[in-house]
Amino acid sequence: PMDVTRLRFLIGWYIEKLREVERNAAKSLDTSLDLSRLEDLRRWGDFPVAHLLTLSRQVEAFRAPGIPGYLAYAVIGNTAILVADPVSDQPAQLLRCFYEWCKSEALSLCGLELRRRSAVVLRELGLAINKLAVENYIDLRRYDPALRGTRGGIQAARELRSIARRTGLALIERPIDLVNPRDIFNLSDKWMARKKNTGELRLLLRQIMTVPEPGVRYCFLRQKERLIGYIFFMPIYREGRIVGYL
């Protein structure tokens, strides 16, 4: 079983290791997408971090005979780190198979970025569970683009929109391959330079990809011709359809 103290130690150890090797080994990690997983993702990737975390080649895909789909994991030392929920219509069975595989390989099991249903299964298997955060959802079907009213931060959003208009800011959605990669990386480097940890993290994040990814929407904030910000929206799928974005 994984207790909270060991979980904190593993996360801290992993981050510290990344700081030590960021300029060398971490940059050699392949964070490109394994598109062989895309069909499963489109059927069962109905949780926010599915596209961000489970398609990347920096994690392995665990599959079990007779169970559709996969789960993403990485082995660090003697610990198998489960990254996000299973992408499957039988997630509980797949989790139990993964737990048995970890035992057969003499690996401890640690799960990150899991929803309640996965946590319940792991708790039944004897692992300690710790709730770290919650996810917030915005129902776009009820969203008012005119920003009328005062509820839910609408007034603050109107004020920010007014500031943007006065200062000549423009938010533009366009394919990422129509934007100069140098502008994107220069902006990223400037932002990272202000962070305490100046190296890019892996596993729970991945590096910027400047080639289009399936279903991803790219938005860029410009002031006149200068790029000053960007945000990428990862798709959330259910039964083959995009039902939301992270």
Could you read off the pLDDT tens digit of each residue along the chain, which spans 246 residues? 556 777 777 777 776 666 555 545 445 555 578 889 999 999 999 998 899 888 888 889 999 999 999 999 999 889 999 999 999 999 999 999 999 999 999 999 999 889 999 999 999 999 988 887 777 777 777 777 777 776 666 777 778 778 888 888 888 999 999 999 999 989 988 888 887 766 666 677 777 888 889 999 999 999 888 999 999 999 999 999 999 998
Residue with tokens 């729970």: 204
Q: Say if CB 85 and CB 91 are below 8 A apart.
A: yes
pLDDT of residue 26: 46
What pLDDT score does 242 carry? 93
Whole-model pTM: value is: 0.76
What is the reported pLDDT for 209? 81
Q: State both tokens at 164.
A: 């943007």
Could you tell me whether strands 67-76 and 79-83 are parallel, antiparallel, or unpaired per DSSP bridges?
Answer: antiparallel
**Residue 188, pLDDT score:** 87
Please give the C-alpha separations between residue 59 and each of 32, 33, 64, 182, in angstroms, as whole numbers: 10, 10, 16, 27
Contact status, residue 212 vs residue 175, Cβ threshold 8 Å: yes
- Provide the pLDDT for residue 118: 94
